[in-house]
Structure formats: structure tokens, C-alpha cells
Amino acid sequence: MNTDQRGVDESRFRDALRGLPARVWIISLGILVNRVGNFLPVFIVLYLTERGYSAGAAGLVLGVAGLGNVLGSAFGGYLADRIGRRWTIVLSAVTTAGLTAVVPFLGPFPIITAVVGLIGVTSQVYRPAAAAALLDSVRTSQQRLAAFAVFRFAMNVGAALGGVIGGVLASTSYVELFVGNAVACLLFGVVVAVLLRDAPRQQTDPDDADSPADTAVGYRRALADRRLVRFLLMTVVGEFVYIQSTVGLPLHVTEVGLSARDFGLLIGLNGLVVLALELPITGAVSRYRPEYVLAIGNLLIGAGLALTGLMTGMVLLSVTVLIWTLGEMMSSSVAAAYLGSLAPPRLVGRYQGLYGVAYTAGTGTGPLIGGALYAIGPWTLWAVVAAAGLLAAQLCLPRRGAA
């Protein structure tokens, strides 16, 4: 593509950013507030171990929460299509706030496990609804991409601020930490309840309406879409690869004699680059067919992480971080926008719910599989990561003969 055409496409993306409707900014503001206070998933292990529970017990709680995430994504997709985006988000925010606020006052371990598991469910219910609300607000492919780019930017800023604030609160009081989390959830709900309005429902064929007696019918219809199934498989495999940045990478850092501080610097590099460059990179790739952008992004993530096993110093490890970070920036917003282009109006929430299930399945099983492979031998993990990156890239490509 020539330079003039590239400039036109990037100008269109900037115009799409400037022309985003207010609903996109409302959702993004809400998610920023929510992510700033999203302390529990990050600090629950430290909280439990400081209370005298074993690492194994803390891992069990995380596992239950992870299962809750999968269920919450599926349930949230259903609710988004049945009761609307706005009230699904508010329900998620209010219930998560109430449950999170009581965590530091719980006694018996089984009760802690049950409540954190419920938080795993309720804290994910909003995600399909939020994505569906973005899609309801835009009409063109450029607007879809711009909307999800802004949404991800808000999430990343919130996560960065939340890590710092959470560390300060945890050093003072875990009661303040979890109550702060609850307050952030409530503020998220208030922002959405007061400012957001659901888009008018589109009229569809009566056969598209699912029976209240059969709540799974929408998911069965969604899973009949072969493009969606390939996308979901790509997501599971791709997230298994990406999550090795928090499993294989720290294990390798320790093995080559580097410190936890060095690992923190590498992850900090990833976060800094994403905040600085993801929006312009999303604009730069917006002119290309999304399937190919996703394929290249997955190749870069797989290659960057697989190359970790060859590196022993911070400079070379930083190069690998930049490689997989580039893949992350290329593919993340594009993946969400591409999924939005696949979903029929009546099933937007279901498609987003299935995406959440695939995402949490990949990130949930990735640490278990990655840790087991590393225990067999580090090169076993890195070889599987390379192969999985290739598989994820292949699943992104359109099937031969497809339009």
C-alpha cells in the first residue's frame, strides 16, 4: 500500500476516534474506574498467605475464582441479550461490590472460597455486556476498532494505576483494600446506571427470539457459526501462549539468575509500551484485513515468548518482550472488533460471552499446562509455545474458499 493510501487510512481511524459516540466514552470511563479498584484478583493470594493459609490453599481459591470467571462470562452474555447491556453491568457491579466488601470479615476457609468463587462469577458478568454496548454504539469497521482501542486504553490505564494504589492499600490494611475495591465497583455501576442508556433493540425475525424455557438456544445458534468457532479456538490457544508471560517468563528469569525485580522491570516495559503505542499501532493496522492482522499478531506473540528460552540477559529478554508486546498491540483491539463484525444483532451478547469463556479458559489452563511443561523441561514449554503460536495464527486465517 502506498504512502498516500496509508495516510488516508490512518486519518480515517483518527476521524473515527474523534467521532465516537458518547456511549463509548461512558463505558470506557466506567471500566477505567472499575480497573483502578480491581484489587482482589491481584492481592487475594497475598491476603490468604498472610492469614496463615498455605500456597496450595490460595491456589485452590484462585482455581475456584477462575471457574467462576468462565461461568460469569457465559451468564453475562445471556443477560446482555435478555435484560439489556445497562442493567447487566449494574447487576454485575453491585453484586461484586457487596461480595468483595465482606471478604476481609470472613472466617472459615470454605466460606472464603465460596465467596471468592461467587466474585469470580459476578465480576465477569459485565464484560460481554460492556463489549455489546460498544458494538451497539458504532456502525462502521473503523468505529468498531476505534471503540475497542479506547476501551482497552482505559483498561490498561486503570490496571496500571490500580497496581500502584493497591500496593499502598495492602501495606496499610486489607480491609481498606477490599472496601476500596467494592467502592470502585459501585462507582462503575453508578456511572453506567446514571449515564448509559441501552440502544433501541433492532427488530428481527421471530424465529431469532429464544425461548425463556431454553436459555441455551442462543449459544447453540452462535456455535453453529464456523467462523466464530475458529475464532474461539484461536482465543484459547492464543491466551495459553500469552499467559506464559506470567508463567514461563518468571521461571526462566529465575533460572538464568535474574531477580524478581528484573521480572517486574520486564513486565513494566510491556505495560509502558502498550500505554504509549497501542492506539497508534491500532490505527496503523486498521487498513488491513483483520484475519491477517490477527495471524501476524499471534505469530509475534508466539515467537517472542518462544525466544525467551534462548535469552539470558536483560537486554535480549527486553527485545523478546518488545516482540510479543507488538503482537499484543496489533491483535487485541482488532480481535474484539472482528468478533463484533461476526455477531448478528440478537446474539451480540452471546458471542461476547463465548469470547469471555474462551479467554478465561485459555488464561485459566495456561498456567497449569505451562507449569507442568516447564517441570518436564524448559525447552518442552518453549517448543509447545512456538507450535501453539503457529496454530493460533493458522486459525486466524480464512478457510480456503471462504470469502
Return the DSSP state at 202: P
pLDDT at 388 (0 to 100)? 98
pLDDT at 295 (0 to 100)? 97
**What's the rounded mean pLDDT across residues 7-30?**
84
Q: How confident is the model at residue 264 (pLDDT cuts 50, 70, 90)?
A: confident
Q: Of 10-19, 90-99, 249-258, 353-362, which gets the smallest average pLDDT?
A: 10-19
Mean per-residue pLDDT over the chain, rounded? 88
pLDDT at 150 (0 to 100)? 94
pLDDT at 6 (0 to 100)? 57
Rounded CA-CA distance 309/125 in Å is 37
pLDDT at 212 (0 to 100)? 41
pLDDT at 49 (0 to 100)? 82
pLDDT at 17 (0 to 100)? 87
Our separate counts of H helices and E strands in the chain read 16, 0
pTM: 0.85
pLDDT at 88 (0 to 100)? 96
pLDDT per residue as tens digits for the range 209-240? 444 434 566 788 899 999 999 999 999 999 99
pLDDT at 51 (0 to 100)? 87
pLDDT at 263 (0 to 100)? 87
Residues with Cβ within 8 Å of residue 3, at least 6 apart in sequence: none
Q: Of 3-12, 120-129, 252-261, 382-391, which gets the smallest average pLDDT?
A: 3-12
Dihedral angle sign, alpha carbons of residues 328, 331, 337, 339: negative
Rounded CA-CA distance 225/241 in Å is 25
Q: How confident is the model at residue 124 (pLDDT cuts 50, 70, 90)?
A: very high
Burial 270-298 (b: 16+ CB within 10 A, else e): beebbeeebbebbbbbbbeebbebbbbbb
pLDDT at 204 (0 to 100)? 45
Rounded CA-CA distance 393/297 in Å is 8
Q: How confident is the model at residue 206 (pLDDT cuts 50, 70, 90)?
A: very low
pLDDT per residue as tens digits for the range 364-401? 888 888 888 998 999 999 999 999 999 999 999 987 65
- Predicted confidence (pLDDT) at residue 198 exceeds the cutoff of 90: no
Burial 248-265 (b: 16+ CB within 10 A, else e): bbbbbbeeeebeeebbeb
Cell of 104: 476481609
pLDDT at 209 (0 to 100)? 43
Burial 82-108 (b: 16+ CB within 10 A, else e): eebbbbbbbbbbbbbbebbbebbeeee
